[in-house]
Amino acid sequence: MHNSDEVPNGTKPKKIFSRSNIIVYGTLLIISIYYLLPLWVMVMTSLKGMPEIRMGNIFSPPLEVTFEPWVKAWSYACTGINCDGLSRGFWNSVQILIPSLILSISVASVNGYALANWKFKGSEVFFTILIFGAFIPYQIMIYPIVILLREIGLMGSTAGLVLVHTIFGMPILTLLFRNHFAAIPEELFKAARVDGAGFWGIYFKVLLPMSIPIFVVAMILQVTGIWNDFLFGVIYTKPATYPMTVQLNNIVNSVQGVKEYNVNMAATLLTGLVPLAIYFVSGKLFVRGIAAGAVKG
């Protein structure tokens, strides 16, 4: 295609198999295989029957595709004394997730907004204390919170867990929102004040509409964090209100009977589906939001 005696003119021709390309794409390929292989094994195993699994070829696709393990995992796998599968845990998790999500994001965004735009005496100290909260290990706070929840009568209830998630999400979310609002040109805020908008007017009419991407980011953070939470779920709720992750653990780690690898795999995939879906749905919006969030340009 490209002669060595050709006179340089116009676009410089690029070699496809250059050393840098091989290194870059080669590394990417190896890393993706490394990460995708477990997923492949899980999906394949979950679609096999037990006899086929016992044959041992964990990497091979199923000879006979069956969805039975998925159905069982969802609707009649046994966890402890209940045999209604993960479905109950799923709805429990939804009931925990939605209020925690709304509550933590609304409080944290107003927090961040106030700390960025309505600085008050001691606001920096307040912010520092709040951020410091992010560095305290959860283990230290587990028992005090047990006492706290017991005293206010929320121990073991979904509401109690929602409260815990809201509190623990506060430092990082406040930081996220504060930094976002602080990066918005101050003049916009000043213009809104001259236009007679107050604290809530500026928040709802000016800043909120232009901050959708950061809300999506916060949502992604919270959905994955809360949905994948195991520790708080197992401590602060009771079996009837266990979130999905706790139920999954009970299914997978049950010591009685045969280990049903296909059901375990299906249950694990089902549990991971919500964060996965969030990434797929919001990923595009997320990127587009950042690109469209140009304030000045």
Partner 1 sequence: MSTKTPSVKVCDLDLQFGDIKVLQKLNLEIAQGEFLVLLGSSGCGKSTLLNCIAGLLDISAGQIFIGDKNVTWSEPSERGIGMVFQSYALYPQMTVEGNLSFGLKNARMPRDEIKSRVERAAKILQIEPLLNRKPGALSGGQRQRVAIGRALVRDVDVFLFDEPLSNLDAKLRVDLRVELKLLHQRLKNTMIYVTHDQIEAMTLADRIAIMKGGKIMQLGTPNEIYNHPKNLYVADFIGSPSMNFLNGELKDTKFTNGSLELPMGSYQFIKKTNLKNVTIGIRPEHIITGELSKKAPVITNVTINLVEPMGSDTLVYANLSDVQIRIRMEGNAKVKIGDRLEIGIDPSRASLFDTQTEQRI
Binding residues (CB under 8 A) for partner 1: these are: 185, 187-188, 190-197, 201, 205-206, 209-210, 294-297
Pick between residue 113 and residue 227 the one whose CB is nearest to partner 1: 113
How far from chain centre, in Å, is Cα 147? Answer: 28
Nearest distance from residue 220's CB to partner 1, in Å? 22
Helix, strand or coil, per DSSP, at residue 1: coil
Buried b (16+ CB within 10 A) or exposed e, 25-40: eeeeeeeeeeeeeeee
Nearest distance from residue 182's CB to partner 1, in Å? 15
Pick between residue 194 and residue 255 the one whose CB is nearest to partner 1: 194
At a CB cut-off of 8 Å and minimum separation 6, what does 219 contact? 101, 105, 278, 282
Nearest distance from residue 192's CB to partner 1, in Å? 7
Pick between residue 94 and residue 210 the one whose CB is nearest to partner 1: 210
Distance CA 279, CA 11 (A): 38
Distance in angstroms between the alpha carbons of the first and the last residue of the chain: 42
> Taking a C-beta distance cutoff of 8 angstroms, is the pair 86, 74 a contact?
yes
Encoded tokens for 35: 């990460």
Pick between residue 7 and residue 194 the one whose CB is nearest to partner 1: 194
Q: Which of 105, 108, 145, 101 is nearest to 237 (CA)?
A: 145
Nearest distance from residue 215's CB to partner 1, in Å? 13
Nearest distance from residue 217's CB to partner 1, in Å? 18
Beta bridge partners of 156: 237
Nearest distance from residue 120's CB to partner 1, in Å? 12
Pick between residue 197 and residue 220 the one whose CB is nearest to partner 1: 197
> Taking a C-beta distance cutoff of 8 angstroms, is the pair 271, 86 a contact?
yes
Pick between residue 100 and residue 117 the one whose CB is nearest to partner 1: 117
Pick between residue 123 and residue 254 the one whose CB is nearest to partner 1: 123
Encoded tokens for 124: 């920096």
Nearest distance from residue 161's CB to partner 1, in Å? 35
Q: Which of 214, 200, 187, 219 is nearest to 293 (CA)?
A: 214
